[in-house]
Chains A and B, each alone.
Chain A
Amino acid sequence: MLARSCLRSTRAFAGARNGAINFSKRAASSSSGSAAEQSPLGLNIAAVASTAVAAGSIAWYYHLYGPTAHAMTPAEEGLHPTKYPWVHQEWFKTFDHQALRRGFQVYREVCASCHSLSRVPYRSLVGTIMTVDEAKALAEENEYDTEPNEQGEIEKRPGKLSDYLPAPYKNDEAARFANNGALPPDLSLIVKARHGGCDYIFSLLTGYPDEPPAGAQVGAGLNFNPYFPGTGIAMARVLYDGLVEYEDETPASTSQMAKDVVEFLNWAAEPEMDDRKRMGMKVLVVTSVLFALSVWVKRYKWSWLKTRKLVYDPPQASNTRH
């Protein structure tokens, strides 16, 4: 009912509408020139305006989102450290514990005068860097607070294996005061805490130029190091050839000491690495065997389907009806 009324209503205007459509169609198709010439100025203005709007919006969008925004200049970013082929960072390699021992010696004799290593206890040195007796003797060189005694007094006692390595300063304020306002960071997790990790610290320790390059701005009390973000670092160059005398008679060049202490700091940051990698190797071997097994089982189970042949046997021509 509704449809029929709609039809009827359209039919009522059909004559007039058809005439109009036919007229316009005829004008557009038979005399194309006359339609374009109706208002060339208006059409041109419209084309120019729409093109300008399109180009302008693209330009505005690029201005907003196109170029990468750098929060820091390259100097503030610091030079990216060189990638070095650290053996202990290979998949199936442990730390070189002889190097750890040398690195700990460098830390104790050089770094420890300013930097703490407060998350490393003496007990963790046992069995990785030194023997029990050596670690005990080292711990006893320092004094630690006791529990309060009966009168509430806190006395001093020699260190035990369960104590942590002592910090060079009492607190951060004392450290800042002694170092011209700059705080030497704790080195326990420094390899994890800096972009570039081992590469960065090695580059930083060995990257001090003899004198700052021409035009470089070096603040008062600061030293120039291209690898340090901002290039002005409060720590001066500390590692020089022959600064430390290694007990295993390794030549103590600057880079040798830097390499050893970086490996030691990497151990301090992740002392579980040796065990983790050994476990990872076991897991990889077992899972690769299991994966190969599962691939074989899948192929075995699917072989009847994958090896079947479908043969199309066409019906005889005499039997077909067209």
Chain B
Amino acid sequence: MAVPVRPIYDFLFRKNYSMLGVVFVSAFAFEMFYDTTMNKVWDNINRGRQWKDIRHKYAQEEE
């Protein structure tokens, strides 16, 4: 494990404001990643059951 712990710590966590920024930004990034992943899982579980899966049958008739 050749992870340079010391410079990472100094850069991200030594100052309180930088630590706060890291927390907020990582929370935001995690939220986006997690939501998209779980929505994909959800759509996979419910494949063919949701409106977006059957919408094309009825939307094309209109146009």
A positions within 8 Å CB-CB of B: 92-98, 101, 127-131, 133-134, 248, 274, 278, 281-282, 285-286
Contact = CB atoms under 8 A, between A and B. Distances in A.
Nearest to B41: A281
Interface in B6-59: 34-35, 38-39, 41-42, 45-46, 49-51, 53-55, 57-59
B61 to A, nearest CB: 9
Contact of B54 (A92, A97, A133, A281): A97
Given A131-B59, A131-B62, A133-B62, A285 B38 contact: yes
Contacts of A133: 62
Contact of B50 (A94, A282, A285): A94
A97 B58 contact: no
Contacts of B41: 281
B58 A281 contact: no
Contact of A130 (B38, B42, B58): B58
Nearest to A96: B49
A281 B42 contact: yes
Contacts of A127: 51
Main secondary structure on B side of the interface with A: helix
B39 A278 contact: yes
B51 A128 contact: yes
14 contacts: A93-B45, A94-B50, A96-B49, A97-B50, A97-B51, A101-B54, A129-B51, A131-B58, A133-B62, A134-B58, A281-B41, A282-B35, A282-B38, A285-B38
B58 A92 contact: no
A285 B33 CA distance: 14
Contacts of A95: 49
B58 A93 contact: no
Nearest to B38: A282
A281 B38 CA distance: 8
Nearest to B62: A133
A94 B34 contact: no
Nearest to B55: A131
Given A97-B50, A97-B54, A128-B51, A92 B45 contact: yes
A95 B53 CA distance: 12
Contacts of B54: 97-98, 101
Contacts of B45: 92-93
Given A98-B54, A133-B62, A248-B57, 13 more contacts: A92-B46, A94-B49, A96-B49, A128-B51, A129-B51, A130-B58, A131-B55, A131-B58, A131-B59, A131-B62, A134-B58, A281-B42, A282-B35
Contacts of B39: 278
Given A131-B55, A278-B39, A286-B34, A93 B62 contact: no
